[in-house]
Amino acid sequence: MRLALSQWGDARITLALDTTRLFHSWCLICVSLTYRGRVIPLAWRLLRHSSSTVGIKDIRPVLVSVHSLLSHLPQIEEVYIGADRGFMDRELMRVFIAYGWQWNIRGKGQVYVYDTQGKALGQIRQQLSQHGTPVFLKDVYLTRARFGPVHLAAIHPPGAREPWFIVSGQPCGPQTFDEYAGRFQIEEGFLDLKSGGFQLEDTHLRHTAGLEGLIFVLALTSVFLFSEGTQVVEEGQRTSVDPHHQRGLSDFQIGWRAIRQRLSRRIPFLQRLRLSPAPDPEPSRHPRAPPVQHADSPLS
């Protein structure tokens, strides 16, 4: 990853923290780099666990690994991380603050909020309009433990059962919701790991060490696939593997198909390993391409 990000420059690094279940027996904790609609795993931990909810003691080693990686890229000055409401934890927020990262965590509307004078403002949901008007609060404190100061962005979209409630380490505005929405790319990444790409669960592995080793190989393979896909798109060669007029494949899928094609034609590939901080020059028009068949696995 240090090699792949060596030309990243001082552009912002955007991370996503989340968990997913494997075989109904394991919980995978993962911090990933969000990249052009998908994610690339940077660090992870696999636990035998009955749910997808984990505590800070299990998350901390993953964050330490990511922080260590980024410390070898001193040119990167701004790191942002997003997490869903299952990660609403004071100790986790303290870790983000200690690392100097910007962060957004989705919260729950029943959390109590206090102003700088300690005055109770009630639950955040009580301040929201049913007409979808956003509320932004600066320098407030959460729960009876008075954790803060933090910043809040909240909205109750018309017709929605639950409000959106985002806790942030930086002042909030309308852009906060768009910024947080980038976190959902990790859901696509988990699909790439499972049914939409590597078919991890088809292996039927039942040993933690074997699964961890395989996840490492797949994470490494992802770096190669995204690097190749990035190069193909930037060189205007996308239609050689995705012939549709409007692009329908992610860089992950384009890299996968390009490598297979070049292997079959004995054409050199992976001549450089590079991820680009630039926006995708031709974003995919579709949320997800059809799953790659298991027999086409790059590990076959």
- Tens digits of residue pLDDT in 59-110: 999 999 999 999 999 889 899 999 998 899 999 999 999 999 999 999 876 7
Same domain, 211 and 182: no
User: Do 113 and 221 reside in the same domain of the chain?
Assistant: no
In a domain, 196, yes or no: no
Do 54 and 169 belong together in one domain? yes
Task: Establish if 199 belongs to a structural domain.
Answer: no
Return mean pLDDT, the chain: 88
Query: What value does the mean pLDDT take over residues 110-137?
Result: 83
Same-domain check for residues 215 and 290: yes
Q: Identify whether residues 66 and 96 lie together within a single domain.
A: yes
Domain total in the chain: 2
Q: Which residues pair with 252 in a beta bridge?
A: none
Query: Within a 10 A sphere around the Cβ of 121, how many other Cβ atoms?
Result: 15
Residue 287's pLDDT band, with cuts at 50, 70 and 90, is very low
Q: CA-CA distance, 156 to 133, in Å (whole number)?
A: 7
Position 269 scores a pLDDT of: 86
> Which of 134, 153, 187 lies at the terminal end of a domain, its last residue?
187
Q: Is 115 exposed, middle or buried (0-12, 13-18, 19+ CB in 10 A)?
A: middle
Are residues 209 and 248 in contact, defined by beta-carbon separation less than 8 angstroms? Answer: no
pTM: 0.89
Domain end residue (candidates: 118, 152, 187): 187
What percent of the chain has a predicted confidence (pLDDT) above 70? 93
Q: Is residue 232 part of a domain?
A: yes
Cβ–Cβ under 8 Å, residues 179 and 82: yes
Q: What percent of the chain has pLDDT over 90?
A: 58
Confidence of residue 141 (pLDDT cuts 50, 70, 90): very high
Residue 109 within any structural domain of the chain: yes
Kindly indicate the confidence band of residue 253, based on its pLDDT and cuts at 50, 70 and 90.
very high
Please indicate, yes or no, if residue 174 is contained in any of the structural domains.
Answer: yes
**Three-class SS string for 206-226?**
CCHHHHHHHHHHHHHHHHHHH
Neighbour count for residue 189 (Cβ, 10 Å): 27
Residues 217 and 270 in one domain: yes
Question: Does residue 117 sit in the same domain as residue 258?
Answer: no
122: domain CATH number is 3.90.350.10
Instruction: Please determine, for residue 138, whether its predicted confidence score (pLDDT) is greater than 80.
Output: yes
Q: Do 244 and 100 lie in a common domain?
A: no
Domain for residue 111, yes or no? Answer: yes
Whether 200 maps to a domain, the answer reads: no
Distance (Å) of CA 139 to CA 23, 61, 100, 142, 233: 42, 29, 18, 10, 43
Q: Of 73-82, 156-165, 240-249, where does the model show the most confidence? A: 73-82
Is 82 in the same domain as 137?
Answer: yes
Domain assignment present for 52: yes
Instruction: Average the pLDDT over 261-271 and give the result.
Output: 90
Distance CA 100, CA 80 (A): 9
* Co-location of 151 and 215 in the same domain: no
- Do residue 135 and residue 230 come from a single domain? no
Supply the pLDDT for residue 109: 67
Task: Give yes or no: residues 135 and 247 share one domain.
Answer: no
Band (pLDDT 50/70/90 cuts) for residue 172 is: very high
* Structural domain that includes position 177: 13-187
What confidence tier does 125 reach under pLDDT thresholds 50, 70, 90?
confident
Q: What is the mean pLDDT of residues 28-54?
A: 93
